[in-house]
Structure 1
């Protein structure tokens, strides 16, 4: 087994492939629009949403497959698919085929996200697992802050196709590193036969549990706000606010709010509890979003610094909210944790891709549609949380029994 720092770096690289594959593309979207002669500027956003749909579909499969065939084989297959799609994407002449390659990129990269979590669970448990995940997530959260800067640097020396070359190098590096250094962590005697009937029953259990389904859907709705921002950020900053080459700086600065949220949440969640932290965060998110919308419609869009501060506050609350929503959704699913994790990840990502794509598609040359999308997703998430908790915000601790349907 690799030394602890090496293992953490390996897992961070696997999880970081997805964030890098999304955020490094943002500065290149105008060039992609020109390369494929897209008449509608908003069509370029499909570069992001097609990847996310592939990532969503892949998540539901890789967990059960790795339980049956072993972690390493499934992981390497997914990374190989990612690499093949990455090589093909920039050389496809039709935009539809380009989007299909992006879908396959996301589908392949889902293996890195799902199987890496399973590998960590195979090797570590309890507080040790939490320690590993904490280090991995700290590295992972840094990627959205630096990826647009990397993309901008690549564009300074070449075209948008060179970014796919960078992603290919990252994918091949991950593949070779895993082949050489990662042992199989799921021995033969612990593997489970791939039974689709059993899988269907497990998914049905997750889908019919009030707490799991409620918090899963709530997470998908609020994640949609984030994806709406990712889809339209380049246009908002460069077309509306005319920030030019400073776009990566503003994007990265806002992403740093999630780093602060991760630290804030890790220090308080054990003392305050997941429910109280998540309920506090969703109320904060909705309040900031409504204030931002109110300012936009009464006095006009704030200057770029004001926009960044308010969106940064939304990102802070999102960073507190999302991990707690996921944990709450998993809470009743201890006996089918692997399948439940795949179900929750797939549903939230699919919803986020759909809502985020729609919000981005509404871009009209101003920040208005994005702000309305944040408010709508925030209010939708709050409503779903209230329905899940039967109207008792802050009234339930995870140490107390949760009433589940019979």
Structure 2
């Protein structure tokens, strides 16, 4: 399978999880009314519970993929996604919906983990960062379209049919993967399923100094963004009065984030993933400071909020793929296990932060702005820890060999 088809497939596999989150946003109000949810903030758990469960689920598939290969584990995850999407469409209570969402996420955790491992099988260094950025461009088209897709479904049918749509999309992806995806893992890299070996490899992924600052820093900025996703329908659609324009504004934000990832794929090989992402974190802190200042005004308008929010989403586009690629560099033989641990930390920490920020929504943008600012500052400190206090280094200029650290 060619490089372009591989990138497109991995992007759309990852996008299944984004679709399961963002297609729900226009339907949260309908779900709350249909299933008798009194607390308006509780509806956010349809999103938050899925993301949090995805984090815990990501611990398992990587080790299985390091033993049995990427392809069979990925196909199993897609199958589970299909089954529990249909189960979500059949629930009769809000608690049952949350249970099925957790089961859906626990089963399909590999959709977030395995694409990174497959790309790591084929690329390394800044080339890997470039490919992950290209994947992110395609991946982010889905959040751009997902709320509009959900809105269109609601025009013709109830919210349950959104889950049916998810199942159909996943089934199509499963057929494509089954027919076209070869096994990318080298046979000699297969790892035994031994609890002690898995524990050692996961511990190495979680304690490697050059990686962990980027993993945790990425988790913080991701969490702040999830806080925006969780509260966006209430904040943008209701508080700022966007109404039916909400899916358009949300989609435009994702489009700008995709454009950032496309730009990153063009410049990262020239300037290096570290230089690009370090500059983005510093700018992120500055823009978040402006957001905090504007949000302290009770008369803040939509047109003061959205440009700054979109700018920060653009900067997250420069942070996410580069942080993830840098963090995976030391782990060639155990890319699946390492990416499982990294995805676990990113998703669990990010989801908890996102839930807390969403539940802190008070009818203004102030809790979100403070979360963005604090996540940026802490991310910079964590990067400084991984880099031993030095920013903007490029460890491997173009044309020089890149040594690979092999772990036991």
The normalised TM-score by structure 2 is: 0.90
1:166 aligned partner: 165
User: Structure 1 residue 398 and structure 2 residue 402: aligned?
Assistant: no
Q: CA deviation at 1:315?
A: 0.8
Equivalent runs, 1:89-168 vs 2, <5 Å: 89-122=88-121, 133-168=132-167
8 Å contact 1:145–1:255 — kept in the other structure? Answer: yes
Q: CA deviation at 1:198?
A: 0.8
Q: CA deviation at 1:126?
A: 8.0
Q: CA deviation at 1:232?
A: 0.6
2:314 aligned partner: 316
Q: CA deviation at 1:173?
A: 1.5
- Per-residue CA deviation, residues 24-58 of structure 1 (Å, 9 max, x unaligned), is 11101111111221121111111111111222122
2:358 aligned partner: 360
2:327 to 309, 326, 329: 329
8 Å contact 1:301–1:367 — kept in the other structure? Answer: no
8 Å contact 1:79–1:109 — kept in the other structure? Answer: yes
C-alpha distance in structure 2 between counterparts of 1:127 and 1:289, whole Å: 28
C-alpha distance in structure 2 between counterparts of 1:331 and 1:4, whole Å: 20
C-alpha distance in structure 2 between counterparts of 1:273 and 1:127, whole Å: 6
Cα distance change, pair 387–111 in 1 and its aligned pair in 2 (3 A): closer
8 Å contact 1:57–1:350 — kept in the other structure? Answer: yes
Q: CA deviation at 1:203?
A: 1.3
User: Structure 1 residue 382 and structure 2 residue 369: aligned?
Assistant: no
C-alpha distance in structure 2 between counterparts of 1:389 and 1:127, whole Å: 17
Q: What is the root-mean-square deviation of aligned Cα atoms in Å?
A: 2.7
C-alpha distance in structure 1 between counterparts of 2:220 and 2:198, whole Å: 25
Could you tell which deviates more after superposition, 34-43 or 62-71?
Answer: 62-71
SS in 2 for 1:366: coil
Point out where structure 1 has 5 or more consecutive residues left out of the alignment: none
Cα distance change, pair 24–172 in 1 and its aligned pair in 2 (3 A): same
1:28 aligned partner: 27
Point out where structure 2 has 5 or more consecutive residues left out of the alignment: none
SS in 2 for 1:85: helix
Equivalences, count = 400
- Per-residue CA deviation, residues 341-400 of structure 1 (Å, 9 max, x unaligned), is 221111011110000110000111222221122122222222322333344334x33249
Q: CA deviation at 1:135?
A: 4.3
2:342 aligned partner: 344
User: Structure 1 residue 41 and structure 2 residue 45: aligned?
Assistant: no
SS in 2 for 1:93: coil
Q: CA deviation at 1:256?
A: 1.8
